[in-house]
Structure 1
Amino acid sequence: MRTTAVTDHPKTKLFYGWFVVAAAFVVTFIGFGSAYTFSSFVDSLQRDFGASRGSVSLVFSFAGFLYFGLGMISGPLADRWGAKRLAAIGMALVGLGLMLAGRAQTIVQVYAAYSIGIGAGVGCAYVPTLGAVQRWFVKRRGFASGLAVSGIGVGTLVMPPLATWLIASLGWRDAYLVLGFFAAIVGVGSSFLIADDPRRHGVGPDGAPLDPLASSPVRHGVSVREAVRTARFAGLYATCLISAFGVFVPFVHLVPYAVDHQVAPAAAVLLLGTIGVGSTAGRFFLGGIADRVGRDAFLIAMYVGMAASLAIWAVAGGFWPLVGFALLFGVFYGGWVAILPAVVTDHFGGRNVGGIIGILYTSVAIGTLLGPSAAGFAFDISHSYVFPVAISAAANVVAALIAVATMKTGSPIAAVVRS
């Protein structure tokens, strides 16, 4: 009897899941890297339009709220239409937003192009892309997720200096055009490598061979409606909401805190880059550790680590102690971002993971919108950052305790697998 050879055997062909991870890296690199280029344009915009520094914070808050909050729309759409389409649309919006910013005639038009283009673009692409990565891995899901989102950290390090160089060489308007074309071409191009289901490529998760008698591709998992009604989801949502309220405070207030403590402004700005270095390291290296020690326990450790590092910030006064805080905080923050989508997929399955992650990330959107501004109001009242930083640390302690309690609840996907 003649047999048919398997043409997509994982031992003879590179597992396509790594191409999906690479595409996700590029999407997060361009999306979030483009978002953080705004700081490079502030001086030019102030000079040409007379914009105030205070108004800049509104741009970041609105864009951040959009790219986390829109996941509850883009996630379910990706589960239905495919992550490739949503990621391509999102990258096109990012590129269009940057190009329109370069042709703006008022500062309001710049803000609208940046906030809506970047916010809606990243919101359209981020959650669907992360959801696609989760479906390709089980044993190495944490490692793969960490590699995918490490594009955020690398983009934060690379894109702002690139924008600064382009502004010096071409002027801010043409710099926006170049960045926009780059984002559209490279971002959309990489999106076409994204695929939702390994079974359609002839393999299972992690490259495992498929049963040749298996039926059409099936992805196990609960529905979005079933997921959001579980105690497990409620616990995850509460931990993310409470933690995010404090997690994003350093991104807005670390530099002014350092300046208040006699750190030179040029040196203070480097602290944000230090968070990016730590975050990149955390995303690259901690995901693999999570796969070995258990992803639930690892998530709790990230909350504890962020709480401990924020406590260090509360007592740090000089440049080097703040560098130590920024690096340590970045590592735990990066590990949190990397492992969260994997934990969601572990407990709810891959069938509707985009929609579930999207709804979960509305908690992060709320924290991004409220946390830094609340810390600013607290500083206006007390003229000190001690109270808001302490609250940020305490919030992550509470998040860790809720995560411990959540671990005791049953995993919804376990019931689906048993049935």
Structure 2
Amino acid sequence: MRVQLVCAAVLTAVLLTPAAPAHPATTGTHSVVTWGASADRVGDGVPDRAYRLVVRTSAGGSDLRVRLSNAFGDRPLTLDSVWAGTQDTGALLVSGSNRRLTFDGARSVTVPAGQTLFSDALPGKWPAGANLVVSLHSRDAAGPATGHGMAMQTSYTTQGDHTAEESADNWTDRTGSWFYLDAVTVRTAARTGAVAALGDSITDGWQSSGDLNRRWPDYLARRLQRAGSDIQGVANEGISGNKILADGAGQSALNRFDRDVLSLPGVRTVFLFEGVNDLKADTGVTADDLIAGYRQVIARAHAAGKCVAGATIAPFKGWSEWNPAAEAVRQAVNEFVRTGGEFDAVTDFDRILRSPYDRERILPVFDGGDHLHPNDKGMQAMADAVDLTALTCPYPPT
């Protein structure tokens, strides 16, 4: 779903202060996630397939590392060639930018089933807001493949190992998914942190414009960059159809929280915006059920030294699974988010997105067309509604 600001008066975020102030280190450097995408199963692995994956950085820094994921694999995954460069256009790379990544000094790496692992650091500076291209190849991939299904970004595939090539000549097939890659980090100032947006299809960017980075976390990343905030990294950990409480479209938020959020370097704040898939379509989930799920996220994040920003559930009347019972749950949950005092910060996406003429519906100018997902304007309005100071968590990074 997406959001755009109508005027300054509508864009309020409610701030609550954390209980245990402590300032992060201000000297030295550390690793911070600059891009992330939640892992899920994406079909089966294809032998001798190569992928040229286009991702957008948020925080700039040095010593880039990529995290490869075989989280949903049922056997070891061997990647025999992994390169990183900068996109020129399409599958074409900027001349001289493509460089080989290594793993404990080796060119090939085997990721055990159910695991993730990082590459060695790639020396050099990497800018914020750039299209990084990770090219990887597996000679014998098979069984369940791990990746992110709805990338809202065109990447490229080919048969055979063409990962070292900067030319686009052999990269003629396209894909709208990311494969075997779930995070990228850079090394930057110790005062710099990241926010991880834990969400569903609205966070994942459905109904935003593809290949233009207009998901609401993308707009947020650009705001943070312009403001010179200490929060520079933004990891989009949304999965379309995802729920807080139950597996289905990906593992539930509770079940994937450690891997998709807490394991990411430099995350200082968790931004929780989920719940609509739990309550719609007569699932039987009550407000108390959903609030209990929120409390688990808050408790686990706080135990790990992170702050938690919460967001109200956006209106969705007109969507096929809306009914008065689901609306009643939404209203009760939103009241808890606004007034419960358990989140460290609150952004009222419901208030920003809803129509003044029918508060159960999304404002038409923000509606992507299905009455649930915002368009580009809606996405921007959501990002504009976030109080940037609320994301600078006082807990020290772990």
TM-score > 0.5, shorter chain as reference: no
TM-score bin, normalised by smaller chain = under 0.3
Q: Which is higher, the Rg of structure 1 or of structure 2?
A: 1
* TM-score, scaled to structure 2: 0.25
* TM-score, scaled to structure 1: 0.25
Relative to its length, the structure with more strand (as a share) is: 2
Relative to its length, the structure with more helix (as a share) is: 1
